[in-house]
Amino acid sequence: MAFTNEQLERYSRHIILKEVGAKGQKKLLNAKVLIIGAGGLGAPAALYLAAAGVGTIGIADADEVDLSNLQRQVIHTTADVGKPKVESARETMEAINPDVTVKTYRLYIDSTNITDLIKDYDFIIDGTDNFPAKFLINDACVMAGKPFSHAGIIRFKGQLMTYVPGQGPCYRCVFKEPPPKDAVPTCKQAGVIGAMGGVIGSLQAMEAIKYILGTGDLLTGYLLTYDALKMEFRKIKLPKDHSGCAVCGDEPTITKLIDYELPSCELKSQG
């Protein structure tokens, strides 16, 4: 596959990088990334992956755009209110870059659909907003041998880690199981500063891009935390030994996907 003149110009700032080059840009154009959740994290991730020329981008979300989303979900506009988020996201991505094929999945993920959903993708981005979904994505990716970027944001804080099969701990290694319903704030009542999604979601896109290019160090074995009020990033080393993990350990006790119960305030807003 040769680049068109338009592609040579569009991706010129990538192609000039020694870590990318024409070869790396082709890898991006041939790559498939799935974003679960078209919201605070998924929106910036989708924008940067589309702009970067990631050839196939899947986006999964069951919701419609709400006015209260627009403070942070920068892929949607005021005119999109009421539209399915995946449609609005697709239109924006296609407008940014016609090289990208966007596949939309208007659904909530659960134990019955996630394995099928992730199977054709090279890398998965968790942009969901609740623990049942985050654990489900982790377990499904571990079981299917798929790399993914986990992230969470709340108030003025955010964090992320990257799982690559065979390389270091998974999300469940660190957090074991979802906290009881409503025990830890994840809900809209807690609030989040809009730009936090931009920071953390862009870092997730960066991890996906580096994974595709096979360049640099990923956040495998580390949790990167960001505190915007202190303006502090910390890269926290995670324990290496994951032999005892219930899903990625030597003798996994979790061998089937689990649908955990959603907190009461989030019954209508899964990712």
Partner 1 sequence: MKITVAGIAKEYPQGLTVRKLIESENVETPEYVTVTINDDFVESGAFDSTVLNEGDNVEFLYFMGGGR
- 85 or 172: whose CB is closer to Zn ion? 172
**C-beta of 233: minimal distance to partner 1 in Å?**
11
Task: Indicate whether 143 belongs to the interface with Zn ion (CB under 5 A).
Answer: no
Task: Indicate whether 172 belongs to the interface with Zn ion (CB under 5 A).
Answer: yes
- In angstroms, the CA 55 to CA 38 distance is 18
Handedness of CA 24, 88, 65, 108 (dihedral sign): negative
**C-beta of 35: minimal distance to partner 1 in Å?**
11
- In angstroms, the CA 254 to CA 271 distance is 22
3-state helix, strand, coil in the chain (%, to 5): 35, 20, 45
**C-beta of 244: minimal distance to partner 1 in Å?**
9
Name which position in 49, 114, 170, 257 contacts Zn ion (CB under 5 A). 170
Name which position in 173, 193, 212, 262 contacts Zn ion (CB under 5 A). 173
271 contact choice in partner 1, Zn ion, none (CB below 5 to 8 Å, kind-dependent): partner 1
47 contact partners, CB below 8 Å, separation of at least 6: 74, 75, 92, 93, 96
**C-beta of 247: minimal distance to Zn ion in Å?**
5
Q: Between β-strands 56-60 and 32-36, what pairing exists: parallel, antiparallel or unpaired?
A: parallel
- 20 or 170: whose CB is closer to Zn ion? 170
DSSP character at residue 194 = H
Number of H helices, E strands in the chain: 9, 8
Closest residue to Zn ion, based on beta-carbon distance: 245
- Terminal C-alpha separation, the chain: 36
- 162 or 186: whose CB is closer to partner 1? 186
For the record, the structure tokens of 214 come out as 């096979």
Give the binding site for partner 1 (CB under 8 A): 37-42, 61, 69, 73, 126-131, 134, 151-154, 157-159, 174-176, 179, 183-186, 190, 192, 197, 223, 234, 236-241, 269, 271
**C-beta of 108: minimal distance to partner 1 in Å?**
12
Contact 109, 137 (CB under 8 A): yes
128 contact choice in Zn ion, partner 1, none (CB below 5 to 8 Å, kind-dependent): partner 1
172 contact choice in Zn ion, partner 1, none (CB below 5 to 8 Å, kind-dependent): Zn ion
Total binding residues toward Zn ion, as defined by CB under 5 A: 6
- In angstroms, the CA 217 to CA 172 distance is 22
Residue numbers of the site for Zn ion (CB under 5 A)? 170, 172-173, 242, 245, 248
